[in-house]
Structure 1
Amino acid sequence: MKTEKEKMLSGKPYKAFGEELLSERQHAKELIFDFNALRPKQIEERNEIIKKLLGKTKGQFFIEPPFRCDYGYNIEVGENFYANYNLIILDCAKVTIGDNVLMGPNVAIYAAGHPLHHEMRNQEYEYAFPINIGSNVWIGGNVVINPGVSIGENSVIGSGSVVTKDIPGNVIAIGNPCKILREISQEDKAYYYKNLKFE
């Protein structure tokens, strides 16, 4: 018989308040409390906590406090990762983030969800599906990413979007629900904002 953690990690309905999962979340919260309580100049100490907390980090990353997650061990971030204030990752399933990914403030990544029918929710069932974010992705402020979503490399997700379905690579996507606006082209390289060109 599978444990609740095994069910969680395999995409099956599970209950999160058993001893094992509750203990793991509490452990993560203790580390996160320490991370968020450090003074701004204590960057090395913050990074050491993140290395203990997350499942995988590469050489260069910067996460602005405050930061929140459920377990930490299900989060993998690539090289040169940057997250602005108030990043929340509900990592009840694997959340994989590629290299050179930028996130604006108040980004929320939700691998976890609850059944639609109230009777099943009231029995404390949850589910979780992996989220994958490719390399060179920019996610604007106040974006929500829902369970099971993949975002392809080099794409930009506009501010305030709610990403409910996969987004391919090399596109600008925006809205609620998030939809492709257009492809990113070589012409875009000349501009830094709308019609303003690099000199």
Structure 2
Amino acid sequence: MMKTEREKMLNGELYSSTDSDLLRGKSRASHLGVNFHVGKNFYMNAGCVILDCARVDIGDNVMFGPNVQIYTVTHPIKSEARKKGKQMAYPIKICDNVWIGGGSIVLPGITIGKNSVVAAGAVVTKDVPENVVVGGNPANIIELIDNDQNYTSSVSF
């Protein structure tokens, strides 16, 4: 049996973004946030963008600075597929107690571990472990977080 374009999208497969069912869903989702799931005590500053073609899970006590961008969707490298409107989507998971600094970008398929911090302007291209600060483009670990001590970072955000 043929998979629908929606099934392909949710499974991370190449799908047609111009499918009529998906276009209707996109319009409806812009009002509902259908693939966007948030825990308790979530804060999102102004200008944030969440493209939730795949599921976005955000844990408890998560903060987004202004203009954070969360992208689950990506496009094929080969131009022929792009010309046909094909794209893929991969889920993003942001665990509990994460702070994402202003202007950061989180790419498709990423998990950010609990208690971690993404420095302002970082581009997260790979999974972030628990209890670290990442920064830069592409984001790399720049500091370990010791949650058992009084902690003041030497890194400014």
Counterpart-to-counterpart distance in 2, 1:127 and 1:152:
23
Match of 1:139 in 2: 100
Counterpart-to-counterpart distance in 2, 1:89 and 1:9:
16
Is 1:97 matched with 2:58? yes
Structure 1 runs of 4+ aligned residues shifted over 3 Å read none
Q: SS of 2:141's equivalent?
A: strand
When the two chains are superposed, the root-mean-square deviation of aligned CA atoms in Å is 1.5
Greater RCO, 1 or 2 (C-alpha within 8 Å, sep 6+): 2
Q: SS of 1:121's equivalent?
A: helix
Q: SS of 2:46's equivalent?
A: coil
Higher helix share: 1
Query: Based on CA coordinates, which of the two structures has the bigger radius of gyration?
Result: 1
Match of 1:175 in 2: 136
Counterpart-to-counterpart distance in 2, 1:115 and 1:104:
30
- TM-score (ref. length: structure 1): 0.74
Q: SS of 2:26's equivalent?
A: helix
The aligned runs of 1:70-81 (5 Å cut-off) are 72-81=33-42
Is 1:150 matched with 2:130? no
Counterpart-to-counterpart distance in 1, 2:131 and 2:151:
16
Match of 1:185 in 2: 146
Q: Report deviation, 1:26.
A: 1.2
Match of 2:24 in 1: 23
Where in structure 1 are there 5+ consecutive unaligned residues? Answer: 32-52, 54-71
Corresponding residue pairs, total = 154
Match of 2:49 in 1: 88
The aligned runs of 1:1-150 (5 Å cut-off) are 1-29=2-30, 31=31, 53=32, 72-150=33-111
Where in structure 2 are there 5+ consecutive unaligned residues? Answer: none
Counterpart-to-counterpart distance in 1, 2:29 and 2:34:
9
- TM-score (ref. length: structure 2): 0.93
Counterpart-to-counterpart distance in 2, 1:136 and 1:81:
9
Q: Report deviation, 1:194.
A: 3.9
- In structure 2, what residue type is equivalent to 1:25? K
